[in-house]
Amino acid sequence: METHDSGRELADRVRDTAEEAQDEALEATGRVQRIAGGARRRAGQVADRLPAAFGQVRSGANSTVTRLQTMPDSGLRLLAAASLGFGAGLRLAGAPRLATLAGLAPASVFGFAIMSRRAGTLPELHPSRP
């Protein structure tokens, strides 16, 4: 008889554990759905704001290139050399590649300004479409 009772107790514990696991799985599924819904809303908000943000970036970049083109070549060369030196110093010091690229990036902007001025153009980085 005792074995029969312990078998029932074991079956009851297994059933209780299974029911608890099922309840927790349902609760977790609800949480995942709420998180996914929040992520979907945030993505929609970001997508709504992107066109305006890109427009501001494009306008700022065009303004910067125009201002740089008005600087004398000697000033642009000096700034480009300083940027190259800074990037090289970061690389020699063992800085991460991303930091090194950030140090070298202004040199490419200055070079772009010099080359576009020599070509006699004031290019837009992303011309607006008609």
> Could you read off the pLDDT of 4-27 as tens digits, one per residue?
667 788 888 888 898 898 989 889
> Which pLDDT band, with edges at 50, 70 and 90, does 2 fall under?
low
For 119, list phi and psi in degrees, rounded to 5: -75, -10
For residue 113, the tally of other CB atoms under 10 A from its CB is 23
Structure tokens at 77: 């060369």
DSSP string, 13-33: HHHHHHHHHHHHHHHHHHHHH
Does residue 39 lie in a domain region? yes
The structure tokens 């125009």 sit at 66
Within this chain, do residues 54 and 34 fall inside the same structural domain, yes or no? Answer: yes
Predicted TM-score (pTM) of this structure: 0.48
Instruction: State the total domains in the chain.
Output: 2
> What range does the domain containing 117 cover?
71-121
Both tokens of 88, joined, read 């090289």
Residue 35 lies in a domain: yes
Encode pLDDT of 12-65 as tens digits: 888 889 889 898 988 988 888 999 999 989 988 888 888 888 889 888 888 887
The two three-digit tokens of residue 75, written as one number: 């000033």
- 2 in the same domain as 40: yes
